[in-house]
């Protein structure tokens, strides 16, 4: 199964969110969009959080670095980090090629519904076009 | 995303701006100019790292027209520049270029510059001073009272009338040789001359800011696009590609060349920045030389600098960035990172730092990277040095 970017939700800070419900829990898978990856250009380092940490919506949970700059990663949702894609920092080239499937960064068990301010694909594309 | 239309009208552009825009460059503000950070998409390379590697492997072109080009005419121009620069200029032979600083009276660096002594085809000699884009207005203002002391010297700001193209890499000279009436390999490092490029004057110097062999060309603004495209065409077989300021920065960092505003500021003197080669405290006959900042620099030279620019290799993959604190093994702050990032050639992060000389010798140090203390090994500069062909002049 391939994750379809059109079916995801997006934060203004370019993270994507895919919420799935299983056994009563809502689990959000979080990554960064191909637009953001292209803008960052040449990723060199990623700093990831520990499993078990709680995050609030909009809280910084890690950072990604390109040749030129450091960019914080923000959690679009509130909850507990239940899984971290620990192989990702060693395979940042693959993140480039496959940001939506292999490129997932963390999974968060939601403690509150995903904020309504998250954008759908069309709204996010519009934001990207405007930010140029 | 359409960077092509995002031209900020408060920014200046170079004569090559339209070319960059049409080529899909990611344009960013730099020193008041809108400049390419890197290019995107076919037929260009895909980003900073590829552009960096292309420079080390064959060659790249940079538009460096944003840098200031100041022309000094008049017999006294050498004497004026002698007074302003940390290096002797009046004994600079025709066709030679020197790297120097402009200092304040305290020995702090106002700018680092290249000065050349060149002659026009009609036999007119003048000095060309290339200053940093970010410092051009400041230096022009700094020059004013001194120009008044040398009324026979005429200063012309040639920046907007000309363009400057840096062509850098091991295969550059063979590629562009056919574009000139003379063989540019006959230029030694730090030699410059005014030559003819398809009937139009061009200043060609064997200089650069990448650690590679190469040339820098100054041409009339209206000729810029033609020369740029000719160089690209001449270098097609060798794989020459345009590169932006992103790669220029990572290249100069590997070569440990200082960048004004980072390694050099008006509170850093050239001796602590490790640039004593660019300071002539004496005249050719061994007598004390007089220039702005001479006394301050003489006393620094006598007592040895309190700080020193060093190279550091942070452990792991996380780059240390400008502004990160450098700590000794006891965790006490001894300095600060002035430039840092990943080294595309070496494959690990590198950094330059300005540290207290008392902290030297005790390895390893630590760098505080946004709250995490990372061990960092002091290392000799430069991080990268090209292998010179033995046949090179």
Work out the percent of chain B whose per-residue pLDDT is above 90: 89
CB proximity list for B290: less than 8 A, separation 6 or greater? B83
For chain B, list the strands marked E by DSSP: 26-30, 33-38, 60-63, 68-73, 97-103, 109-119, 125-131, 154-157, 162-168, 192-197, 200-205, 214-220, 241-242, 307-314, 325-327, 333-342, 349-356, 365-369, 372-379
Alpha-carbon distance of B136 to B70, in angstroms, equals 9
Which residues of B fall within a CB distance of 8 Å from A89?
317
8 Å CB contact of A68 and B341: yes
Residue A49: predicted pLDDT: 96
The strand order across the sheet containing B109-119 reads B97-103, B109-119, B125-131, B68-73, B154-157
Residue A132: predicted pLDDT: 58
Task: State which residue of chain A sits closest to B28, comparing Cα positions.
Answer: A132
Alpha-carbon distance of A120 to A122, in angstroms, equals 6
CB B104 within 8 A of CB B185: no
What are the φ and ψ backbone dihedral angles of B110, each rounded to 5 degrees?
A: -90, -30
Number of Cα atoms under 13 Å in the Cβ half of residue A33: 25
CA distance, residue A113 to nearest chain B CA (Å) = 31
Within an 8 Å CB–CB cutoff, is residue A47 touching chain B?
yes
CA distance, residue B247 to nearest chain A CA (Å) = 9
What are the φ and ψ backbone dihedral angles of B94, each rounded to 5 degrees?
A: -55, 135
Alpha-carbon distance of B78 to B85, in angstroms, equals 10
Residue B4: predicted pLDDT: 39
8 Å CB contact of B250 and A132: no
Residue B129: predicted pLDDT: 98
Within an 8 Å CB–CB cutoff, is residue A45 touching chain B?
yes
The pLDDT tens digits of the residues spanning B306-339 come to 999 999 999 999 999 999 999 998 999 999 999 9
Q: What is B133-164 written as a DSSP string?
A: GGGHHHHHHHHHHHHHH-TT-EEEE-GGGEEE
What are the φ and ψ backbone dihedral angles of A25, each rounded to 5 degrees?
A: -95, 145
pTM for this predicted structure? 0.93
Facing A67 at nearest CB: one of B5, B6, B250? B250
What is residue A102's DSSP assignment? Answer: T
CA distance, residue A101 to nearest chain B CA (Å) = 22
The pLDDT tens digits of the residues spanning A35-69 come to 999 888 889 999 999 999 999 999 999 999 999 88
Which residues of A fall within a CB distance of 8 Å from B344?
67
Strand partners, A29: A18, A107
CB proximity list for B146: less than 8 A, separation 6 or greater? B80, B83, B84
Pairing mode, strands A15-22 and A9-10: antiparallel
Residue B319: predicted pLDDT: 96
8 Å CB contact of B2 and A129: yes
Task: State which residue of chain B sits closest to A125, comparing Cα positions.
Answer: B1
Chains A–B, number of C-beta pairs less than 8 Å apart: 46
8 Å CB contact of B370 and A70: yes
Distance set, CA B278 to CA B99, B150, B271 (Å): 6, 24, 9
Within an 8 Å CB–CB cutoff, is residue B341 touching chain A?
yes
Chain A interface test: which of B341, B369, B372 (most A C-beta within 10 Å): B341
Compute the average pLDDT of residues A4-32.
94
Facing B48 at nearest CB: one of A39, A41, A131? A41
Q: What 3-state DSSP class applies to B71?
A: strand
8 Å CB contact of B5 and A47: no
* Residue A70 tokens, joined: 């450091």
Alpha-carbon distance of B363 to B151, in angstroms, equals 54
Segments of chain B scoring below 50 in pLDDT: 1-6, 390-393
Facing A67 at nearest CB: one of B6, B26, B48? B48
Facing B321 at nearest CB: one of A70, A131, A132? A70
Which residues of A fall within a CB distance of 8 Å from B2?
129, 132
B30 CB-contact burial (10 Å; exposed 0-12 / middle 13-18 / buried 19+)? middle
- Backbone angle region of B165, left / alpha / beta, with phi > 0 → left and psi within -120 to 50 → alpha: beta
Which residues of B fall within a CB distance of 8 Å from A47?
318
CB B313 within 8 A of CB B126: no
Q: What is the CA radius of gyration of chain B?
A: 21
CA distance, residue A90 to nearest chain B CA (Å) = 10
Q: Residue B369: which of B328, B310, B327 has the closest Cα?
A: B327
């Amino acid at each position: 199964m391939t994750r379809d970017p059109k079916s995801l939700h997006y934060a203004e800070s370019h993270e994507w969110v895919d919420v799935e419900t299983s056994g009563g829990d809502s689990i959000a898978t979080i990554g960064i969009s191909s637009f953001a990856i292209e803008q960052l250009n040449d990723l060199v380092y990623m700093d990831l959080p520990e499993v078990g940490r709680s995050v609030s919506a909009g809280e910084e949970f890690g950072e990604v670095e390109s040749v030129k700059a450091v960019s914080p990663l923000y959690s679009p949702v509130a909850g507990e980090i239940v899984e971290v894609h620990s192989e990702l920092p060693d395979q940042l080239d693959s993140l480039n090629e496959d940001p939506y499937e292999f490129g997932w960064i963390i999974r968060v068990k939601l403690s509150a519904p995903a904020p309504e301010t998250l954008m759908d694909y069309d709204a996010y594309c519009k934001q990207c076009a405007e930010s140029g | 995303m359409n960077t092509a239309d995002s031209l900020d009208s408060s920014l200046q552009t170079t004569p090559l701006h339209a070319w960059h825009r049409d080529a899909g460059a990611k344009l960013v503000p730099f020193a008041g100019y809108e400049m390419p950070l890197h290019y995107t998409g076919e037929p260009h390379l895909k980003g900073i790292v590829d552009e960096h590697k292309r420079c080390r492997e064959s060659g790249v072109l940079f538009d460096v027209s944003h840098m200031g080009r100041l022309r000094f005419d008049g017999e006294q121009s050498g004497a004026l520049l002698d007074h302003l620069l940390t290096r002797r200029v009046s004994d600079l032979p025709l066709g030679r270029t020197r790297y120097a600083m402009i200092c304040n009276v305290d020995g702090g660096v106002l700018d680092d510059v290249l000065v050349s002594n060149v002659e026009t085809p009609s036999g007119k000699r003048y000095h060309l001073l290339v200053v940093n884009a970010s410092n051009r207005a400041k230096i022009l203002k700094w020059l004013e009272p001194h120009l008044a002391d040398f009324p026979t010297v005429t200063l012309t700001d040639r920046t907007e009338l000309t363009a400057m193209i840096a062509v850098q890499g091991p295969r550059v000279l063979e590629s562009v040789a056919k574009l000139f009436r003379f063989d540019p390999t006959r230029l030694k490092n730090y030699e410059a001359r005014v030559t003819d490029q398809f009937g139009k004057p061009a200043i060609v110097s064997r200089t650069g800011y990448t650690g590679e062999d190469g040339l820098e060309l100054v041409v009339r603004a209206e000729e810029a696009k033609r020369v740029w495209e000719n160089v690209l065409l001449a270098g097609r077989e060798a794989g020459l590609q345009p590169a932006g300021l992103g790669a220029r920065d990572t290249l100069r960092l590997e070569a440990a060349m200082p960048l004004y505003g980072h390694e050099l500021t008006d509170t850093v003197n050239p001796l602590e920045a490790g640039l004593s080669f660019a300071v002539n405290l004496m005249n050719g006959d061994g007598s004390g030389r007089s220039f702005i900042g001479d006394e301050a620099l003489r006393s620094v030279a006598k007592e040895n600098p309190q700080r020193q620019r060093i190279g550091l290799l942070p452990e792991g993959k996380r780059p240390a960035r400008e502004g990160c604190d450098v700590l000794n093994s006891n965790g006490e702050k001894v300095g600060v990172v002035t430039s840092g990032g990943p080294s595309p050639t070496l494959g690990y992060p590198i950094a330059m730092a300005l540290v207290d000389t008392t902290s030297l010798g005790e390895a390893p140090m630590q760098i505080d990277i946004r709250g995490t203390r990372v061990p960092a090994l002091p290392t000799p500069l430069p991080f990268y040095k090209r292998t010179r062909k033995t046949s090179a002049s």
